[in-house]
Amino acid sequence: MSAFVTDGPDLPLTGERTVPGLAEENYWFRRHEVVYRRLADRCAGRDVLEAGCGEGYGADLIADVARRVIGLDYDESAVAHVRARYPRVEMLHGNLAELPLPDGDVDVVVNFQVIEHLWDQGQFAAECLRVLRPGGVLLMSTPNRITFSPGRDTPINPFHTRELNGAELTELLTAAGFTIEGLYGVFHGERLTELDARHGGSIIDAQIARALADAPWPDDLLADVATVATDDFDLIEDTERDIDESLDLVAIAVRP
């Protein structure tokens, strides 16, 4: 089993990354975690790089099934945290624009909720292709620009440099030389749809409104957010539902 713990974060919650163990952050944490859990089998028995691993909970989850997990992050405090908390992860400090791995070193690159933070997204995609072995897989997720920053020319999150829609994500990866195996969207499942209705139509907007007001959490909102689980989200392929309606985009891309 994973060494993942939820007794409170050692890293500060800055808005740039999510962390486990905070009731107020639980919705965003589970929304990220669901992609790790649904795609973990793609890492089984393989050498995996998680580029931009943040707090490290996802890399440790992958270590349950992978042969080897290398974590990489630019934040020195995150690197120290992962080394101390998740010893199964081989942690490196480095820049994602120049991955500190030789050509063809890994079978899988995992990059969840990171590409939107990068200034040179094309360079990073090219680096992923370089470090993958032939037939290797890039697993990438990112907020869907259409629903995450609707009607805006710039991202709503100050830590994001460029957000993507499904067509833009596909273009980015194919331009780097990848073949798209599948494009998926993260959606609210039945229970979260019920919670949306309970909180004025959107549990996301209810959380954002509380943050903007810098006010205490209403007891009912905090209680509902704290109970959100990964099973409350659906991961659906673009052939089955309009990808433009998704919360987050998930791409499975293959190096030829």
Taking only the tens place, the pLDDT of each residue in 166-188 is 999 999 999 999 999 999 999 99
Strands 179-188 and 233-237: antiparallel
pLDDT over 90 at 13, yes or no:
no
Give the percent of the chain with pLDDT over 70. Answer: 88
| Mean pLDDT along residues 74-97 | 95
| Mean pLDDT along residues 84-90 | 97
Q: CA-to-CA distance for 229 and 55, rounded, in angstroms?
A: 19
Query: Three-class SS string for 118-150?
Result: CCCHHHHHHHHHHHEEEEEEEEEEEEEHHHHCC
pLDDT over 80 at 202, yes or no:
yes
234: nearest Cα among 57, 26, 35: 35
Q: Higher confidence at residue 15 or residue 243? A: 243
pLDDT over 60 at 15, yes or no:
no
Q: pLDDT band at residue 22, thresholds of 50, 70 and 90?
A: confident
Give the percent of the chain with pLDDT over 90. Answer: 78
Task: Please give the mean pLDDT across all residues of the chain.
Answer: 91
pLDDT over 60 at 14, yes or no:
no
Bridge partners for 108 per DSSP: 48, 137
210: nearest Cα among 78, 27, 56, 17: 27
Fold of 23-255: Rossmann fold (3.40.50)
Q: pLDDT band at residue 10, thresholds of 50, 70 and 90?
A: low
* CB-based burial, 64-86: b 16+ in 10 Å, e otherwise: ebbebbbbbbebeebbebbbebb
Least confident of 66-70, 157-161, 201-205: 157-161
Bridge partners for 151 per DSSP: none
Model pLDDT, residue 154 = 67
Q: pLDDT band at residue 26, thresholds of 50, 70 and 90?
A: very high
Model pLDDT, residue 9 = 45
pTM: 0.90
Model pLDDT, residue 196 = 97
Bridge partners for 251 per DSSP: 140, 183
Strands 90-93 and 132-143: unpaired
Least confident of 33-42, 150-159, 221-230: 150-159
| Mean pLDDT along residues 133-161 | 81
Model pLDDT, residue 158 = 67
Model pLDDT, residue 129 = 98
